[in-house]
Every structure is written in structure tokens, then in C-alpha cells.
Amino acid sequence: MNEMTKLRVGIVGVGLMGHGIAKNVLARGSFPLAFLDHPGNQPVDDLLSLRATACKTPGEVASASDVIILCVTGSPQVEAILTGEAGVLSGLRKGAIIVDCSTALPDSTLRMAAAVEAAGGRFLDAPMTRTARHAEEGTLNLLVGGDEADLRSVRAVLASFTEGVEHVGPVGFGHRLKLLHNYVSIGFMALLGEAAAQAADAGVDPAVFVDVLAKGGGAGVALQRMAPAIVTGDTGTIPFFIDNALKDISYYRMMASNSGASKAIADGVSTAIAAVVESGHGQAYISDLARLLRKTKPAA
């Protein structure tokens, strides 16, 4: 992997986040790209117009790639893609580097990294922060766990779709920090959603509610992102499904349990979000909690 511009890149998971990654690998990075043809993909006509290659199996993606990016829902999907029938490991080229941009459990990550290395490859966990809009713009941030030399080998690829790439420690630390990050972020938004719902039920002007928080201890990125949903009902500023928020909080709680850490507050956040999911609103965006947690429940 000495000539970075000639690296062949593969991606499994061309969804809301993965589509932007794939587009920028092609358009900004000019790397040849193979991707898994899957019904969960976003429309890929633009990728095909940039001469991307569609593959039938993860193993086929791997056999065509020096760097394989994973961008899927969570640990069960990562494990199936890597170790399942016709999985990535079945076609892995010697020395190839897996870059797992999914949100996953650190214990699973360590197992998958060991399996990749046993198959002759290398592994980096590189979960993303920011949103699908940033993925399309090529300005994601990555938290990378793994060997620094492996990271150096793929930096040019990662630079095509990121603004910041931070090496945070050995394998597993990227996913550990992503779960910490998402717990805090989701926790803030859940708290704001519940408070905004109570304020609305009490007849408080939502613009006044946001202004008071913004001028005091409630100020911050979470409030900035939630404000349009609270004030005008525009939930599109945070295109992140409540189902996914519940999954991430569940992963955080599992990680905390495995390490013996306190998780009482996380349990409360999980309970609140789970109730919304159970009421049929899992595919609503998380910013819609300001409406969904009101006393008068909206129609599905």
C-alpha cells in the first residue's frame, strides 16, 4: 500500500451515511470503488456514473479491494458481513485493511479484529460523528482505534470523506468512545425533548423556552440541533431514527455492564426512548421527542 492514489476501496453499507462516504471516495478521492449491491442501499445511480462497481457478496467486495469500509447498523451486521457465508473474510486480500465505521460493541470489535488478523488482514474501528449531511459534504469526523501505521496507510482514503480523523487508542477504543459520545448526545436530546414537551403542555412559548436555555446552562450543540423541532416542528435537522438511538443506548448499557460501571442514568434514558419506540414511533427522528413525549400523544 505504498502508492496511496492506487488503493482500491470497497464499501459495505451504502445507506444514509455510507452513500456520502462512497460518493466522496469516488469524487474527491478518485479511488476505484466496489460496493455491495443491497436493497438497503440509497440510490446508487450517481455512484455508477462515477464508475463504481456493484458486487453481489461482501466477499466479492473484499476480493476487489485493498481497503474495505463497513458502514452498517451494529455488531450483528458487522459480524455477519465479516464472518458469514461469502463474507468479507472469504475474499480478503493479504494485507487488506478493514475500516469499520459502524457503531459497534467493543467486545465484538476485538473478536472481529482478531478474526481479520488471523485471515491476513488488518482492522481499524473508525466510527463516525456528525450526520448524513456531513457524510454527503465529506466532512465527517472519525474516532479511530487501531495501529497508527495502519491508520497512516489509509489516511488518504479517509481524508476523502472527513474533516477530522483522530487516533484515540488501540482497537476497540474508537467504538468505546463512540458509545460514550452517543450516550451523552442522545441523553442531552432526550432530556431536552422531555423538557420541551413539558413546557409545551404547560403553555410555555417554545421560542421563549429555547431562548431561556440558550442564554443559560441549557446552551449547547444539542439545543441548537433540537431548536427547530421545538419551535417550528422541523425535525429534519437531526436525521437520526429513534430506533437507532435506542440501539446505541442499549450498546452503551451493555458496555457499562460488562465493565461494572454505573448506568443508572442511561437506564432512565433507555426506558424513556423505549416507550416511544413501543408506541410505534421508532422511525421518527430523535428531534421529534419534543412532540412525542407530550401528554397528548400524536397520531402514528
Instruction: Map out the domains of the chain as residue ranges.
Output: 4-169, 176-292
Tell the CATH superfamily of the 4-169 domain: NAD(P)-binding Rossmann-like Domain (3.40.50.720)
249: cell is: 443506548
Between CA 167 and CA 145 the distance in angstroms is 6
Q: Where are the alpha helices (DSSP H) in the chain?
A: 16-27, 45-49, 58-63, 75-83, 88-91, 106-118, 132-137, 148-159, 173-201, 206-214, 221-232, 242-259, 264-276, 289-292
Cα 227 off chain centre by: 22
How large is the average pLDDT for residues 15-40? 97
Position 239 scores a pLDDT of 84
Task: Decide if pLDDT at 4 tops 80.
Answer: no
Between CA 290 and CA 197 the distance in angstroms is 5
- Mean residue pLDDT of the chain comes to 95
Report the CATH number of the 176-292 domain. 1.10.1040.10
Active-site positions read 178
Q: Which residue has the higher pLDDT, 4 or 176?
A: 176
Q: How sure is the predictor about 237, in pLDDT bands with cuts at 50, 70 and 90?
A: confident
Task: Tell me what percent of the residues of the chain surpass a pLDDT of 70.
Answer: 97
Q: Which of 17, 19, 69, 73 is nearest to 44 (CA)?
A: 19
Q: Which residue has the higher pLDDT, 237 or 47?
A: 47
Task: Decide if pLDDT at 299 tops 60.
Answer: no
How large is the average pLDDT for residues 93-122? 97
pTM (2 d.p.):
0.89
Task: Decide if pLDDT at 218 tops 70.
Answer: yes
Task: Decide if pLDDT at 3 tops 90.
Answer: no
